[in-house]
Structure 1
Amino acid sequence: MEFIAHPGPFMSNGQRQPDQLLKDHLLDCQKIAESLGHKLNLGCMAGLAALLHDVGKYSSAFQEYIQSAKIDPNSVRRGSVDHSTAGGKLLYDMFHQPTNSPYEQMLAELVGNAIISHHSSSLRDYWDPQTTADSPFLNRVREKPVAEYDQIKNAFFAEVISLVNFKKSVQCAVCELQTFIEQLKDYSSLFLVGQFIYSCVIDADRTNTMLFEQGKAETWQADGDRTNLFAADYATVVTYLEAKNIDSPATKINQLRAQMALECDQFADRPTGVYQLSIPTGGGKTFSSLRFALKHAAKQHKTRIIYVVPFTTVIEQNAAVTRKALGLPENDQSHVLEFHSNVVQSQTITDDNESEEQGLELIKDTWDAPIIFTTMVQFLNTFYASGTRSIRRLHNLMNSVVIFDEVQSVPTKCISMFNEVVNFLSSFGQTTAVLCTATQPALDAVRNNLKLSENGEMIQNLPAVTEAFKRVEIVDQSHGEAWSLDRLADFVQELAVNKHNILVILNTKSAVKKLYQTLAATNMSEVFKLVHLSTSMCAAHRLSLFTSITEALENGQRLICISSQLIEAGVDVSFECVIRSTAGLDSIAQAAGRCNRNGEKERQNVYVVKITDDDEKLTYLPEIADGQKISLRLLQDMELDTKLYSGELLSPAALRKYFIDFFAREAIETDYPVKHTNLKLMPLMSNQGQRGSIKHATNEDWPLMLLNSSQTIAKFFQVIDSVTQTVLVPYKAGAEFITQLNGELTTEELDATLKAAQQYTVNLFTYQIKALDEAGLLMPLYNDQIIALRSEAYSEEYGVTMAGDGGAFDIAMF
């Protein structure tokens, strides 16, 4: 009989194309996975996992399932026949016996886990840390019975690969693994090796299946060499900047920017490493880092450049600036990709629900463009979060240049896990990492520290550069009684007598909205253009507002902007005056970077104010609250000793002192403690120290080489504590995308539409989704995998609202 992997898709004439044979699917996936695996010199391992991933489809039960699905898809439950266990069990039975070497046993664990988990939300735990000595991995490969197991093995070795050649493939994989392990210092890296193999298998399987459905199964190609592309891009950017510099005024600030850009250009000759780019705020780090990245990528033959930013706000502006410098169309997504979030919602998958991916689930979010802009949330989700859509792109982070813009924004609880990933990428993945910020967060000073390259600061004589770049004076208004928002509104009006434009940055969206409404109710709205900025607005909406703000500032229009901290990270605007509610010293420094940014005037004032707890509740923002306390203490210390830190609150020395104090205060948090449990996620990447306690509890040696707990990490890992869901909004072109996604689209059309639609999405909390749903303001698309907002629930003034009233979603989150 012919064993089928996937039924042939229907053609336009209503007839089915030929089915995809199982042997073709396995061999094609092996080819793809091998190519992906070579990025970490683990091609044989990744290929072996792909070769075995669907072996269970050689059972008659699965073939009957396929035939029934062809006749009537509604007659079968998707994933009702387990086909993932067989491949992992085969590898375990053959290579995880007492007679096998430790490397063979470890291979059976690493590769076997990727196989049995390829239709699950994560790899299985080798050891479940919430039990005495349970192993979900062993429960699957050793304990779970596999029907028709002998038939499956016989068919596989008869039709796909001979037993002799299979053993040769295994030994090739064992040699790769042994070579890799000999470079390791600890077992945490093996957790990331497992995630990498998993990524290769997931992408190979989904890619081959999607191409088969499109009738293009033979067209897959690996990433080509992009050396010439990056070299050409570098030349284009240098030409653009030279022309830009000629047209720019010959101010001291512009001269310093040009000098620092040249230093970054020269630094690009350095080898792969972990470097720092500590350009002062307003110093032109976007272009300087791009210049470095393009030249470095061309010289070191990197495959892609990835910008990781703290907020989606920064994505659209920096991507637009990059496209302009490269001479690309404004809506280009093939050369410069903006990746805000997963528009398609992840499915909940359990051991009893092996979902067969189809349609939307096959769409690639794999970051295969040459230049990518994404967020820190998406970057960390790639390594740790539940769901296969994120981890599918992990392998594309190898052999890249990753620019971490405003790296101080890494959540404190995630610092150890962030450092582990960056160290791994640099040491084994041939990826260069650049920590790009004016406020370097001393990640080398924490317990699980970042391994910075020697002499890795791109900017020479940093203290002198910082002093030369100073354009503002910090005016401390934080002592004494805290201010109400009404008092702050009065202060804004007092300053407005002599100022053409003012920026006010507060810590919560509710405070931002209340101050905006207070000022809008005065006659100031007749004299000033008032702008409200919020993360309740989609990216396209915010970009439109940034454009109008820039135009107003350039045209001399009187303007007051009230914003949460979203405007601090990389947004290129320059106000005469800035008011900042007290927060961490890094946030105060970033706010100061929006004042007198180009040195247009003599030093201007940045006012630091303390808002009452009633008006600015930080209960659910503990890191901002802790940062605020340390900043207030620094301000008090400097008031007592005016020579402290050379009298400069924003000096490199003061900032390093701030971060060391902050991490000391938050030391218990950096390993990602899980609320309401005694777990920390960072130690679960290894767990090797648990062997003794397990033996003490069970009186038996642990039967596996590994103990890490991928499943538990994925279950609890969230970069942001509150769970959010991505919703498409009907802002301008967003309404057109919603209409398109409500119709019939091919997978290729879906892919293009979803990428373009990312600028028209907002992430909402669970309670917000529930309220909107109960009010009938949501539209589910594609079997609830995409959620869209109805037009009456989106406001030009506030973004997402309840029926346009602008008042439903005041939350204490920036």
Structure 2
Amino acid sequence: MAGERFDQDEEWGHSKNAHDEAESLALHLSAVAARCEEFATAFGCGDEGRACGSLHDLGKLGPPAQQRIKQGKGRSIDHWSFGAHRMLARYGTEGIAAAIAILAHHKGIGRLSKDTLNDLCRLDPWRQWLLDNGSRLSELPPADADAWLASSGLILPESLQSICPWKRISAEEKAAVMTDIRMLFSALVDADFLETEAHFNAPAPDKRYERPRPPKLQAERALLRVLQHIEQCRQRSNAAEHVISMRDDLLAACRAAATEPQGVFTLSAPTGAGKTLAMLAFALDHAARHSLRRIVLVVPYLSIIEQTARIYREIFESDETGFGLHYVLEHHSLTLGPSDVKSDEENERLATARLLTENWDAPVIITTSVQFFESLFSNRPSACRKLHRLARSVVLIDEVQTFPKELAIPTLATLGHLAKQHCCTTVFATATQPAFTHFDDHVKQIGGPGWQPLEIVPPDLNLFDRARRTAVHWPQTDERTSWNELSEQLARHNRVLCIVNLKRHAKRLIELMKDRAGEAGLFHLSTNLCSAHREKILNDVRQRLADASAGPCRLIATQCVEAGVDIDFPTVYRAMGPLDAIAQAAGRCNRNGRQTSGDIHVFRPDPSDDDAEKSLYPPGGYLQAAMRTEGLLKLGDIDIDDPRAFADYYRGLYALGDFMRTDIVEAVLDLDFEKVGELYRLINQQTVNLVVPFDRECELFNSLRDQALEAGLSGEWICRARPLTVAVYGTGERLSGAADPVPLPDWTRRHRGPAGADVSDEWFILRDSDAENYDSVLGLKELPSAWGWIA
């Protein structure tokens, strides 16, 4: 039907595009129905998807709606409720999930209640409610709409067997119900977005826009390429033989587990065991055996994404591999920019990446925990449109120990149901596996299948015993170490890593170390450094560690260095903290097993040597976890190479709270999609992006400032700015005096609120290009405001 002309007196689905062509309503409904059916077929709901697409914009029938579309005149029209009403009228309780998807496809899913559905079934009270709230419904009688459907050529299923009938909605399967409704909603929203785009982005008259098609997963071929890459790494590795043997065994365990049926898995392996590539091999092998479509890697930190994306692209997107451009897509806050910037003159590659990332239309996705999990629990169309891509996929969740326990119950219920109902295998990977089986009964209570994952690594491999590469030296009861004493100890070591809990502690220690040992070979790492600066520091550190004649190498860091950062020190000092953090710190010590044993020194900072009004720990769960470690230590030294120690640690930590009595669990039990979306936050504080003048890239900084003033924010600008960006807690109002908001291009201002806004509230750039606010060692200085920096 693409390019098909129609009588201008017919009902329009969309107004005219740049080629002065309108789109008929029949064409739009037919195109969305076909695409939504395709998407929903992946999770067994093709008929329901077709019905959704066929009826979603039925409210555009009738004179008021048509006047609004054709002339842009008249009061706002609710064009979604009428289609939801006809869905319920036609299919009864089997049409409820589809009706909800239609009702929400522009404004998002609200609270699901029987009263709402009953009101929707009776059009008159619904019409009055809309009028009272400044909108109105199509005035076309239902019988006329049914007749129009019959004459338009739209073929609706005779009956539906819904993924989510009323008997399930009214039962105790709340988390499962919400997941199923979001998946159907996602299929409809994405289909509608794509077909609307096809009309308005038409490249020529009588021609619909077609998105570039990404490559297929080609799992078997991709697996061979990964195995080749692993062998190449093995050949050039300088790791000890017993470490290489351990990595080989982990890979073999992953290959063996890939033959298992789809479900939920854990991958518990010590740091340095080759987990990143081994779990990718599992995912591809598993995908090949079960005909899966996609792999999604979820990681908590941007630093890990940067490192992993380079590895994945080296494997799949180098010239000789032939997997094609956009085989691997990154999706996080710094890749493509804010969601309200929809178009600019980007080059073809960036524009295509932006389009494919909107709905995860690629075989391999690398994303952050924030992006993945907050989308999974969102009620908004733009966030949910990608979710249907999770059907028939493998999701690898790395460094899962960072996941907040307060969100565990609804998250485990949702992931378990995705595996059971939507063929989405999930792997929880870490060296310090949380004891989430503690929540098994709680997960069942809110409608999940429970949580009893299959461990990929058989216990007889004894990986943790074989990986013993360090000796942990715990402090004596009530032993305290001043910063001056600590700097003296660090200065005795030529190569040493020290990890502290807070950035002010790192700054204090850096200042003391400069006086005691000089600046040569002294490094600092925290997220006060932009990514280009962090990358330079890590490269310099690795070069010094690899060259015995390179002189001292002393790195003072916050916990950002602990997960996924491949460095290897002979000695590590770690401030008292959560047990999993201490174990992750140990993973940076004797990582490649070249020494008989590395040394981990755990110390308690002396509170009398610090600001008495400030805590020695970050607030909230971090402090609670550190106190749990202290509690275990009173019983004797802790063996961080024993998984049983972590099971005990996590069980005790979970016992400290009643996680069934949280606002988000209550919202799930109430089927309140909107409230769940508001409450589900991995990071509870707002952040903004600040572009800084890292000295090695000052030319780039000045170029970015000039370009921002001249042309405003764009996707291309954001990609260039990404290496110089620091994420900062707070809002832009608190940054006045030190940084300027980046202007928006003229054409975007009408899309933003408040009315008349002409600058971004997400992107800022420091005013100075010298060292006034950005230090060559410490990075971003404390600005003249009450900002807090992300650790």
- TM-score normalised per structure 2: 0.82
Question: Residues 675-726 of structure 1, C-alpha deviation per residue, up to 9 Å, x if partnerless?
Answer: xxxxx21243233xxxxxxxxxxxxxxxxxxxx1111212332121213345
- Residue 648 (structure 1) aligned with residue 648 (structure 2): no
Q: CA deviation at 1:369?
A: 1.8
Question: Quick check: 1:64 aligned with 2:56?
Answer: no
Asked whether 1:426 is paired with 2:405, we answer no
For residues 362-410 of structure 1, the C-alpha deviation after alignment (integer angstroms, 9 at most, x for no partner) is 8852222211211111111112235433212111112111111111111
Letter in 1 for 2:741: L
Task: Indicate the residue corresponding to 2:755 in structure 1.
Answer: none
Deviates more, 1:655-664 or 1:730-739: 730-739
Aligned to 2:620: 622
1:473 to 471, 484, 492: 471
Residue aligning to 2:26: 23
Tell me the residue number matched to 1:684: 667
**Is the 8 Å Cα contact of residues 179 and 418 (structure 2) preserved in structure 1?**
no
> What is the root-mean-square deviation in Å for CA atoms of aligned residues?
3.9
Match of 1:459 in 2: 457
Aligned CA distance change for structure 1 residues 360 and 649 (closer, same or farther; 3 Å): closer
Count residues with an aligned counterpart. Answer: 728
SS in 2 for 1:637: coil
- How many angstroms does 1:592 deviate by? 0.5
1:142-157 mapped onto 2 (5 Å cutoff) = 143-144=129-130, 147=136, 149-151=138-140, 153=142, 156-157=145-146
Name the counterpart of 1:443: 436
- Compute the displacement of 1:177 (Å): 4.6
Distance 2:261 2:127 in 1: 43
Measured at CA, do residues 518 and 127 of structure 1 come closer, stay the same or move farther in structure 2, by a change above 3 Å?
Answer: farther
SS in 2 for 1:275: strand
* Structure 1 residues 141 and 458: CA distance shift in structure 2, 3 A: farther
Counterpart residue type for residue 491 of structure 1: L
SS of match in other structure, 2:788? coil
Aligned partners of 1:397 and 1:431 also within 8 Å:
yes
Q: 1:215 to 1:685 in 2, by over 3 A?
A: same
Matched, 1:607 2:598: no
Q: Determine which of 764, 769, 775 is the counterpart of 2:728.
A: 764
- Judge conservation of contact 1:31–1:47 (CA < 8 Å) in 2: yes
1:17: Cα distance to partner?
A: 3.7
Contact 2:498 2:574 in 1 (8 A): yes
Secondary structure at the aligned position of 1:337 is classed as strand
The whole-number CA distance in structure 1 between the counterparts of 2:71 and 2:353 is 22
**What is aligned with 1:637?**
635
One-letter identity of the residue aligned with 1:396: R
- Taking the aligned partners of 1:332 and 1:792, their CA distance within structure 2 comes to 41
The amino acid of 1:238's aligned partner reads L
Task: For residues 47-91 of structure 1, give each alpha carbon's deviation from its aligned partner in whole angstroms, at most 9, with x where no partner exists.
Answer: 32233222233343343334445xxxxxx79x9443233322333
Q: Tell me by how many angstroms 1:427 deviates.
A: 0.3
Can you list the C-alpha shifts for 1:519-557, whole angstroms capped at 9, x where unaligned?
A: 34x2534332x3322234444543343333322322344
Give the distance between the partners of 2:148 and 2:690, measured in 1 at CA.
46
Q: 2:237 aligns with which of 248, 257, 279?
A: 248
Over 3 Å counting, the alpha-carbon distance change for 1:187 and 1:327 in structure 2 is: closer
1:811 aligns to what? 788
1:413 match: secondary structure: helix
How many angstroms apart in 1 are the aligned matches of 2:273 and 2:723? 27
CA distance in 1, matches of 2:119, 2:533: 46
Letter of the structure 1 residue corresponding to residue 112 of structure 2: Y
Instruction: Find 2:580's aligned residue among 560, 567, 586.
Output: 586
- Say whether the 8 Å CA contact 2:78–2:136 is kept in structure 1: no
Distance 1:61 1:478 in 2: 78
Distance 1:279 1:570 in 2: 13
Distance in 1 (CA, whole Å) between partners of 2:707 and 2:558 is 33
Supply the distance in 2 between the matched residues of 1:758 and 1:198 (Cα, whole angstroms). Answer: 33
- Within 1, Cα distance between the matches of 2:183 and 2:325? 26
CA distance in 1, matches of 2:701, 2:449: 43
Q: Retained in 2: the 8 A contact 1:309–1:315?
A: yes
What is the CA-CA distance between 1:765 and the residue it aligns to? 2.7
Cα distance in 2, alignment partners of residues 413 and 570 from structure 1: 24
Q: 2: CA distance between counterparts of 1:630 and 1:153?
A: 63
Shift of 1:119: 2.0
Give the Cα separation in 1 of the matches to 2:259 and 2:187: 31
Pair 1:150–1:809, CA change in 2 (3 A): closer
Shift of 1:182: 12
Aligned to 2:38: 35
Contact 1:419 1:448 in 2 (8 A): no
1:267 correspondence with 2:247: no
Matches within 5 A, 1:653-672: 653-666=644-657, 668=658, 670-671=659-660
Quote the residue 1:310 is aligned against: 300
Q: Against the structure 1 CA distance between its residues 434 and 2, is the aligned structure 2 distance closer, same or farther, given a 3 Å change threshold?
A: same
Alignment deviations for residues 129-154 of structure 1 (CA, whole Å, 9 cap, x no partner)? xxxx8889858688435746342756
- Report deviation, 1:155: 6.5
Q: Over residues 136-190 of structure 1, what are the superposed CA-to-partner deviations in whole Å (9 max), with x where a residue is unaligned? A: 9858688435746342756754555459976x42x44345556995999723211
Match of 1:189 in 2: 176
Q: Provide Cα deviations, 1:341-368, integer angstroms capped at 9, x if missing partner.
A: 2755467xxxxxxxxxxx9998852222
- Relative to structure 1, the CA distance from residue 210 to residue 729 in structure 2 (aligned partners, 3 Å threshold; closer, same or farther) is farther
Percentage of identical aligned residues? 24
The amino acid of 1:603's aligned partner reads S
Contact 1:508 1:811 in 2 (8 A): no
Match of 2:496 in 1: 502
Q: 2:56 aligns with which of 33, 39, 53?
A: 53
One-letter amino acid of the counterpart of residue 363, structure 2: P
Question: Does structure 1 retain, via aligned residues, the 8 Å contact 2:13–2:60?
Answer: yes
Q: CA deviation at 1:800?
A: 7.6
Identify the residue that residue 353 of structure 1 maps to in structure 2.
none
Contact 2:48 2:162 in 1 (8 A): no
The residue aligned with 2:346 is none
Q: Which residue of 2 aligns with 1:115?
A: 102
**Paired residue for 2:568?**
574
Q: Secondary structure of the residue that 1:298 maps to in structure 2? A: helix
The 8 Å contact of residues 282 and 597 in structure 1, kept in 2 or not, is answered as yes
Aligned to 2:764: 789
Post-superposition Cα deviations, 1:566-624, rounded to whole Å, max 9, x if no partner, equal: 21111111112111111211111111101110112121211112225545626762211
Taking a change above 3 Å as real, the CA distance of residues 549 and 262 of structure 1, as seen in their structure-2 partners, is same
Aligned partners of 1:617, 1:309: CA distance in 2, in Å?
28
Deviations 1:258-279 (A, max 9, x none): 2211221222222212112111
Give the whole-Å Cα distance in 2 for the aligned partners of 1:810 and 1:752: 28
Give the aligned partner of residue 209 of structure 1: 196
Describe how 1:723-802 pairs up with structure 2 within 5 A. 723-726=686-689, 732=697, 761-767=725-731, 769-773=732-736, 775=738, 777-781=740-744, 782-783=748-749, 784=759, 787-792=762-767, 795=774, 797=776, 801=780
The answer to whether the 8 A contact 2:190-2:385 is kept is yes
2:273 match: secondary structure: coil
Equivalent position of 2:6 in the other structure = none
> Who is 1:704 aligned against?
none
1:535 maps to 527
Matched, 1:400 2:381: no
Q: Is the 8 A contact 1:580 1:609 kept in 2?
A: yes
Provide the rounded CA distance (Å) in 1 between the counterparts of 2:295 and 2:499. 31
- Structure 2: give runs of 5+ residues left out of the alignment: 1-8, 341-351, 750-758
1:226-375, aligned counterparts within 5 Å? 226=216, 229-249=218-238, 251-326=241-316, 328=318, 334-341=326-333, 344-345=337-338, 364-375=357-368
Per the alignment, in what secondary structure is the counterpart of residue 319 of structure 1? helix
Q: Comparing 34-43 with 183-192, which one deviates more in the overlay?
A: 183-192
Compared CA separation, residues 365 and 265, structure 1 to 2 (3 A): same
Q: Distance in 2 between matches of 1:464 and 1:36?
A: 43
